[in-house]
Structures are given as structure tokens and as C-alpha cells.
Amino acid sequence: MPHIPRPSWAALRSSAARPAPGRPALRRLALLGAALAAALAFAQPAAADGTADAADAQIIAGDPFVNDDRPGTRCAIGVAVTAGFLADAACGEAGDRIRGADGGSGRVAWSSRTEGVMLVTADPGWTPTPLLRRGGGTTVVLGTDEAPVGSAVCRTGSGTGWQCGTIQAKNQSVATPDGIVTGLTRTDVCAEPGDRGGVYYTAGHVQGLLYGGSGNCSSGGTTFFQPIVPILNRHGLTVVTG
């Protein structure tokens, strides 16, 4: 199976919140296996003349996408920006072709391992929107105001959908095979494979993108996210708001 050439994320650990004995260490959430991803993959919709038609395709945070250059890769749209959208860096490398569930397409512009984020620029016809998937419907992104520790926060992703909890701590440091990652925010929101890159959201405002964690959504867990504002500032990006 073709795969993204990245080191194992099993060794991830947090220097700010070490796991208790007998509990799994912090990890970067694994991508779906090839067999499951193939079963969940979506076909390219066709126009009347048999060609792909994505004229009405929309970029909605939390919706799934696949990487056509890396079979078996299925991830979640993190947050729409004016150029396209942000997602987890493990979902592609620069130049990879990306396809959404409703036929929209784009290409990975850049992918940063240390930030855990990649930018997908959308092709014409795949429109960024301020919408975020919530259960069976959507909600609107209003902005990127940062919520304080203790605030309620929810996360969306294509693996476990809408999950909620609390912001527990900020400026956390995590050791990864690529080095120490700093500035992460810790929450008690659960996550599982397929949720990578999912967006955290508080009272209408995007907080960040899922980086990794421990546990699961059956027994509970801890997750960390990359705050969105520093990413936007570093790369000159603007979130699409409503």
C-alpha cells in the first residue's frame, strides 16, 4: 500500500502532561487503513457528457476528503480559508491531488510536519464556505477569537463527528519524532482515527486543528490542538467567516 513517508507516531509524548502508568502515550492519530478507506471512498460525480462536474462543490469544515496520489488516505477538512482549506499534514505532501466528497478538487500547496498542518488550494468550482459540519447539519464560523482555559470546546472530524469537552491548558510542549512541538492547547475532547486535522470550535469561533492525543471516544481521552491564529499569521491566510 502506498503510504505517506512519515515516522511512527506511537512515540509521541507530552512533557506537560505525561500519561499515568498503564495508559497509552499521546499519539498522532493514525489514518484509516487502506481497506476501510477504500470502502468509504467516494466516486467522482459526472456531468451529462461524462466528465467530472464540481461546479457546485463546497468546502465545509469536518467533511471528508481523499488524496488521489496516496490511496488509502482519507482525512477531514479542518477549516476553510480564502485559498482553500487547512488539514492535517499527514494527509498529503506538496503537489498531491485532493478530492472532496462532492467532486471538488485541489492540490496540496505545502505541508508542515512540525506544525502538523497542510494547505490545500482549491481548483475553480470548489468554493470555501464559512460552514462547519455539526451532527446532521452545519453551523457557521464567525471568527477566530481565542477562548480561555476552562471554556467549553467542541471538535468535528470525519471519524467520530461532533465531540465536546473543555480547554484544560495552553502552551503545552509535545515531543515528536520530528522534534519538540510547542504552543499546543490540551483538551479532554476525545478523538479517533479519521479525525486528524479536525477543527475545534467555541461559541462560533475556530480555536485550532487537532494535532494528536490518547484514549478514544468510548472510554474518553486527551487531545491537543494547534491554535489557529498563529498558523494564519505565519502563512498570511484568512479564515472564511459568515
Domain spans, the chain: 1-38+57-242
pLDDT at 12 over 70: no
Calpha distance 215→129 (Å, rounded)? 32
The answer, yes or no, to whether residue 238 has pLDDT greater than 90, is yes
% the chain with pLDDT above 70 = 77
Q: Contact 202/164 with Cβ under 8 angstroms?
A: no
Q: Are 66 and 101 in contact (CB under 8 A)?
A: no
Q: So what's the pLDDT on residue 171?
A: 96
Q: What is the pLDDT of residues 153-185, one digit of tens each?
A: 999 877 788 999 999 999 999 887 767 888 999
42 pLDDT higher than 80 = no
Could you report the per-residue pLDDT of 49-101, keeping only the tens digit for each? 333 455 689 999 988 899 999 988 888 899 999 999 999 998 999 999 999 98
The residue count of the chain comes to 242
pTM for this entry: 0.79
Q: How far is residue 220's CA from residue 87's CA, in Å, rounded to a whole number?
A: 24
Hey, which residues does 105 pair with through a beta bridge?
99
Max mean pLDDT among 28-37, 49-58, 99-108, 129-138 falls in: 99-108
Query: What is the model's pLDDT at position 28?
Result: 56
pLDDT value for 94: 97
Class of domain 1-38+57-242: mainly beta
pLDDT at residue number 29: 54
What is the mean predicted confidence (pLDDT) over 117-142? 94
Of 209, 156, 217, nearest to 192 by C-alpha is 217
Q: Which of 7-16, 45-54, 128-137, 138-147 has the highest mean pLDDT?
A: 138-147
